[in-house]
Amino acid sequence: MKPIKDNLTEIRERITAAAQKCGRDPHTVTLLAVSKTKPVSALEEAIAAGQTRFGENYVQEGVEKIQYFSANQNLEWHFIGPLQSNKSRLVAEHFDWCHTIDRLKIAQRLSDQRPADKAPLNVLIQINISDENSKSGITLAELPALAEQVAVLPNVCLRGLMAIPAPETDPERQSAVFRQMETAFRELQGKYPQADTLSMGMTDDMDAAITCGSTMVRIGTAIFGARNYSVS
């Protein structure tokens, strides 16, 4: 395993190359470092190498890291895991973003529970674009109605869409799925100008995601190495 600093350099170069290859400005793609299961020492290495945005999947683990790094005002924390309503308060109180809105009840609770002294919580609606086995996310058919309801909540800001497509070995099928997301995102932007974020692409599919308009890639393994769930 190479140093995290070198991995970050490589990922940034991969983002730049993928963007340039399809004529996009590399600065329009944000790198979210997915640090779930990783110790704070790993995040410290990433921060020392200039990384400021981190994604966490588990509420308690994420909150502990946010509190550990609370003296650093430059960091931005994204909740990217499935969210149960009994955990929404911790997300509303501590995180800057939530990528996994899949029902009005959760968005409503996050808005109600967002502390008054904080900016509205940035939220993304999660689309279940191709993974029939996953219960997370809504269908594209359900998107217009949910977006309309989320957009009017006072303490959340609808910033766009997120998807975790099923792993796909055929590049054409993979692109087709990403293209569907791109189209849905453009339509959403037409109605909600503040929606500027399409969160898609992970270690194995980030290049195709960038080609299809992703503005935020969520990268764990390529930065921090493989995850070991048994010790966490």
- Catalog residues that contact ligand PLP under the rule CB under 6 A: 34, 36, 57, 80, 164, 202-204, 218-222
Here the tokens at position 140 are 């594209």
Strands (E), 57-132: 76-79, 97-101, 121-127
Q: How far is the CB of 77 from ligand PLP (least distance, A)?
A: 14
Instruction: Specify the residue, 10 or 204, whose C-beta has the smaller distance to ligand PLP.
Output: 204
Instruction: Specify the residue, 106 or 164, whose C-beta has the smaller distance to ligand PLP.
Output: 164
Q: How far is the CB of 132 from ligand PLP (least distance, A)?
A: 17
Give bridge partners of residue 210 from the DSSP assignment.
none
Q: How far apart are CA 211 and CA 178, in angstroms?
A: 9
Q: How far apart are CA 179 and CA 111, in angstroms?
A: 31
Q: How far is the CB of 87 from ligand PLP (least distance, A)?
A: 16
Instruction: Specify the residue, 88 or 199, whose C-beta has the smaller distance to ligand PLP.
Output: 199
Instruction: Indicate the burial class of 210 (C-beta count within 10 angstroms; 0-12, 13-18, 19 or more).
Output: buried
How many Cα atoms are found within 13 Å in the side-chain-facing hemisphere of 27? 0
Q: How far is the CB of 98 from ligand PLP (least distance, A)?
A: 12
Instruction: Specify the residue, 87 or 191, whose C-beta has the smaller distance to ligand PLP.
Output: 87
In this chain, which residue has its C-beta nearest to ligand PLP?
A: 220
Instruction: Specify the residue, 115 or 201, whose C-beta has the smaller distance to ligand PLP.
Output: 201
Q: How far apart are CA 181 and CA 216, in angstroms?
A: 13
Asked if 154 and 121 touch (Cβ cutoff 8 Å), the reply is: no
Q: Which residue from 122, 114, 213 is spatially nearest to 163, judged by alpha carbons?
A: 213
Instruction: Specify the residue, 183 or 221, whose C-beta has the smaller distance to ligand PLP.
Output: 221
Q: How far is the CB of 11 from ligand PLP (least distance, A)?
A: 10
Q: How far apart are CA 198 and CA 166, in angstroms?
A: 17
Q: Which residue from 208, 225, 195, 201 is spatially nearest to 30, judged by alpha carbons?
A: 201
